[in-house]
Amino acid sequence: MEQYIMKGGNPLVGEVTIGGAKNAALGILTAAIMTDDNVLIENLPDVRDINVMLEAIQEIGADVDRIDRHTVKINASNIGEVSVDDEYIRRIRASYYFIGALLGKYKSAQVPLPGGCNIGSRPIDLHLKGFRALGADISVERGAVVAHAIDLVGAHIYLDKVSVGATINVMMAATLAEGQTIIENAAKEPHVVDVANFLNSMGANIKGAGTDIIRIRGVRKLHGTEYSIIPDQIEAGTFMCAAAITRGDVMVKNVIPKHLEAISAKLIEIGCEVIEFDDAVRVVGKPIQHHTNINTLPYPGFPTDMQPQITVTLALAKGTSIVTESIFENRFKYVDELARMGSNIKVEGNVAIIDGVKSFSGASVNAPDLRAGAALVIAGLAADGYTTVDEIGYIQRGYECFEEKLRALGAMIEKVDSERAAQKFQLQVG
Ligand code: EPZ
């Protein structure tokens, strides 16, 4: 079983280049099947969730040509199936985007319901409410969402809760509906805007993405396109926190600094220096960093996907910080793992009260999910001695070449698959 082993203590210094946004790519890849023409997608991250999504797209009959690691050509003119296999749903929740894409294009979809996950219950009632408003008949049969429509007709849809997935899913279906759809209380995340821009590049007529009202005028057909995915806000934020927690100095390149403002603001509050460039952000950690309070919120608020990384950073800052998780109910599971490194954090419901400690000591920990796994790695890089992080499959779902990128910044980290390899690493780094 693969694990990361690392010896903490080196400040991370240097430059790192951020890849394409995983969560934008998941929406864009499914939207790509909505035309019969060729679609070329660039700046695709080479991570597990994306590769599973590509397999699922191929499985329903589309041609998927991986031109290189970060470029794919999709042609969905041969799709023969509007039913997606259960296996893929279990492996990536975002395959719920197939409902919007297939329903929009073929007026029919059958997609198994995604189950709960490690960060809490993740219902899709708002997605279904949106599809029903567009005139689709939706039922749940033997664990799958079955959606049919004779015609999809534009509608005025109010999302009761800000949801990235529901906004993207309904936007995709509405693109090929008759007439105008208005989505109110839409999510404003950068990846919502990226999926809208992608659909517009295929001939859709979507206005207002990035605000809380999205207006979609349905078109009859979408055409082929070439599109480059935006940089990953969360990968960038993770490296920013890695710079802060190790008291390093890292230039995080190929980013859109505006997408990182909430993260930058919090790092500045705790005493880091954050310098913005046109497409880069430099973070300089300071020997003594201070406490602050954080509440996760939909964009432009502080992202829930950065909550574990900032919490571990605050766990090594002076004073008491309070982090409130407002999006998912079960996203503090890693706190027990972090306690093995000597952190002092008490969780009450959706609030973590963090008493900063002077240092962590290396320990063996398990990654409970993707972002928490990444957070435990950066905690290990700031800890005294050796840390091992198990269950790194979670981390590989969303971070490309994580250990290589960290190593290029001076981290002592290795991916190993046996006790012997771990011992070899320890002998090498001394
Ligand atoms: C997306 O999930 C991301 N995933 C998540 O990233 C991210 O944590 C989340 O947005 C919030 O930013 C993808 O983009 C593939 P939501 P999503 O619908 O769309 C509730 C990562 O680490 N809700 O915005 O599924 C829901 O329970 C992952 O990369 C309903 O009640 O999240 C939550 O409390 C993890 N009913 C809130 O809304 C619904 O029908 C926001 O969830 C839908 C959501």
Which residue's alpha carbon is at the smallest distance from atom 18 of ligand 1?
Answer: 163
Please report which helix (H) or strand (E) contains residue 15, including its range. strand 13-17
Supply the DSSP symbol for 93.
G
Give the distance (Å) from ligand 1 centre to CA of residue 122. 7
pLDDT averages per 10-residue partition of the chain, 430 residues: 95 98 98 98 96 93 97 95 78 90 96 74 91 96 92 97 97 98 98 98 98 98 98 98 98 98 98 98 98 98 98 98 94 97 97 98 96 98 98 96 98 96 93
Please report which helix (H) or strand (E) contains residue 68, including its range. strand 63-68
The closest-lying atom of ligand 1 relative to the alpha carbon of residue 398 is 29
So what's the pLDDT on residue 125? 93
Known catalytic residue at 401: no
So what's the pLDDT on residue 354? 98
- Please check whether residue 408 is in contact with residue 11, taking contact to mean a CB–CB distance below 8 angstroms: no
DSSP bridge pairs for 225: 39
Q: Choosing from 117, 241, 272, 401, which is the catalytic residue?
A: 117
The closest-lying atom of ligand 1 relative to the alpha carbon of residue 303 is 12
Ligand 1 contacts (CB < 6 A) are 23, 26, 94, 119, 122-127, 161, 163-166, 187, 304-305, 327-328, 370-371, 398
Best of 163, 235, 395 for a ligand 1 pocket test (most atoms within 8 Å of beta carbon): 163
Which residue's alpha carbon is at the smallest distance from atom 9 of ligand 1?
Answer: 164
Please report which helix (H) or strand (E) contains residue 388, including its range. strand 386-390
